[in-house]
Amino acid sequence: MSANAQWFRSRNRTLSTRLVMAGGFVGALLVLTLSMVFSWPVKVTASAGDQAAENLKAAFAAPPGSCLNWAPDGSDMRQTPCETPHLFEVTGDVDIAAEYNASAPSPTDEAWREIAKKRCTDGAAAYLGGKLDPFGKYSVGALKPSNEQWRDGDRKFRCGLQRAAPSGKALVPTKNSAKNQNQSDVYDAGTCLALVDKNVGDPIECTKAHAYEIVGVIDLGETFKDGGFPLEEQQQTAMLDQCPKLAADYSGGLNLADKKLTLTWDTRKQESWDAGSKLAVCKVGAPLPDNSGLAPVTGSIKSAAAAVPPTPTTPGG
């Protein structure tokens, strides 16, 4: 990431493998943090004809390549066509019965994370054709057996791919199979990301206070067509050359300085480049005068309505 874009960086995007665990509970699911471990819903024992129960049974048995979705409260987990919005794409099943016999207690949350890291990451990379961008939009996830399932002897957990929001506290729905997607961690132009404690949060309406607004996406692969990894300085030059035009086209020529806004951008790390992630975003935000983070911006620059609250002054200042 570029130095001038450093103040846009999410504090939750530092894990090298970006392994997260998520899942659904029948009735309710509060995704407090993706570093927590979540279970599948309890084993379905509802009577035949219960559509939610049938959906859950199908999801539980979904083979690799299947996509799963569930409601915001965690209910109604079901298998869905990957062409439709979904939260989880199954990459494989792992059985740990050889390590945990029928009387063994369920692993701790930390142990589950380590197990999934060891047993899911390589499989996810293979599922994607051998390349998994450690800084890309897809995270390796896992759904572990519920306590009831564990007591009944179920020792399988499902590995999968999902997209975590910048805050690390929610999942972002994706469309189409991850196998066919560019892994660059970018959002479309027009997306605004919330401001949380002077840092980057999750996608939000641009009419609400936000950290920055995406104004364009650049394919650095088109700029550096020889395929070799461009140095940071080269990427900076390319983004500096292209982002101002995209911002001007997007905003209708708005003078950002008049609005106390700053244009910045991302660059790509070599690990991402080698995995084929060559897209980078141009974005607009407002760094605080002391460079301690970001100021809230309300309104889209596309409508020239973006505004930054005035900087507070000290008494007598």
Residue 262 identity (one-letter amino acid) = T
Angle (CA) 126 130 135, round 5°: 105
- Per the document, the length of the chain is 317
Report the alpha-carbon distance of residue 264 to residue 262 in Å, rounded. Answer: 6
If you search the block for the tokens 């892994």, which residue do you land on?
A: 183
pLDDT at 72: 77
Token pair recorded at residue 218: 């650049």
The pLDDT value recorded for residue 5 is 40
Report how far Cα 69 is from the mean position of its chain's Cα atoms.
15
Instruction: Find all residues with CB under 8 Å of 204, minimum gap 6, and list them.
Output: 192, 193, 194, 210
Helices (H), the chain: 51-60, 109-127, 147-151, 220-223, 232-251, 270-274
pLDDT at 48: 44
How far is 31 from 72, CA to CA, in rounded Å? 9
Q: With beta carbons less than 8 A apart as the criterion, state whether 210 and 195 touch.
A: yes
Cα separation, 138 vs 155, in Å, equals 25
φ, ψ of residue 192 to 5 degrees: the values are: -115, 140
Please report the pLDDT score of residue 63 as a whole number: 92
pLDDT of residue 315: 47
Q: What is the pLDDT along the chain (317 residues), one digit of tens a residue?
A: 333 443 333 333 333 333 444 333 322 222 223 333 445 554 444 444 577 778 877 887 889 999 999 887 777 888 999 999 999 999 999 999 999 999 999 888 888 888 888 899 999 999 999 999 999 999 888 888 878 888 889 898 889 999 988 877 788 899 999 998 899 999 999 999 999 888 888 999 999 999 999 999 999 999 999 879 999 999 999 999 999 999 999 999 999 999 999 999 999 999 999 999 999 999 999 999 888 889 999 999 998 777 777 655 544 44
Please tell me the pTM assigned to this model: 0.79
d(CA 20, CA 31): 11
